[in-house]
Structure 1
Amino acid sequence: MAARITLYSRPGCHLCDDARVVIERVCAELGERYEEVDIDADEELQRRYGEEVPVTFVDGRQHDFWRVDESRLRAALTV
């Protein structure tokens, strides 16, 4: 099963840590998967998302940045 959620993050980011907790909880409840991408490993991703991390995508479309709203994420995954 392919991951429906992509979390763009960077090490040492407390907002990324918070987002990961929410995403992991929702994924566990709904049986979904997510993938995490370290933007610091890619110059282009650093340029695009450097000051907005964490950035989340659901089904290939940007969903949130800075914070993950659990209710919105759950709703997006149950559509």
Structure 2
Amino acid sequence: MTQTTITLYTRNRCPLCDKAKATLLELKENWEFTFEEVDIETNDDLTERYGLMIPVVHLDGEEVGFGFIDKFDISNRLHEKSQSNELK
């Protein structure tokens, strides 16, 4: 079974990013995944790609949310991912 990774693309002084991080850390209490936080301001390509969208959440490289991050939606995505991993 492969480890699931959630990546949060964020930047400093971003209240929505802070809320998204808190939401993901809450989910980590019930779901097993690796959490990565990437500051888009350290990379021009990321700033150009996500500058107006942050926070952006990727689940194993797939974009699953941006802006307001919905805990229920991400939880459903994690559930779907765990089900598909069990079938492999």
Q: Same fold (TM over 0.5)?
A: yes
Q: Which residue does the alignment assign to 2:25?
A: 24
Q: Is the 8 A contact 1:3 1:35 kept in 2?
A: no
Q: Take 2:69 and 2:21, find their aligned partners in 1: how far apart are those partners?
A: 9
Secondary structure (helix, strand or coil) at the match of 1:78 reads helix
Give 2:47's aligned amino acid. Q
RMSD: 1.3
Secondary structure (helix, strand or coil) at the match of 1:64 reads strand
Q: Deviation above 6 Å: which 4+ runs of structure 1?
A: none
Q: Take 1:32 and 1:2, find their aligned partners in 2: how far apart are those partners?
A: 6
Q: Which residue does the alignment assign to 1:47?
A: 48
CA displacement at 1:17 relative to structure 2: 0.2
Q: Structure 1: which 5+ runs fail to align?
A: none
CA displacement at 1:29 relative to structure 2: 1.4
Q: Structure 2: which 5+ runs fail to align?
A: 81-88
| Range that drifts further, 5-14 or 30-39 | 30-39
Change over 3 Å in CA distance of 1:31–1:2 after alignment to 2? closer
Matches within 5 A, 1:1-79: 2=3, 4-79=5-80
Find the structure with the greater CA-based Rg. 2
TM-score by length of 2: 0.83
TM-score by length of 1: 0.92
Q: Number of residue pairs matched?
A: 79
Q: Take 2:50 and 2:3, find their aligned partners in 1: how far apart are those partners?
A: 23
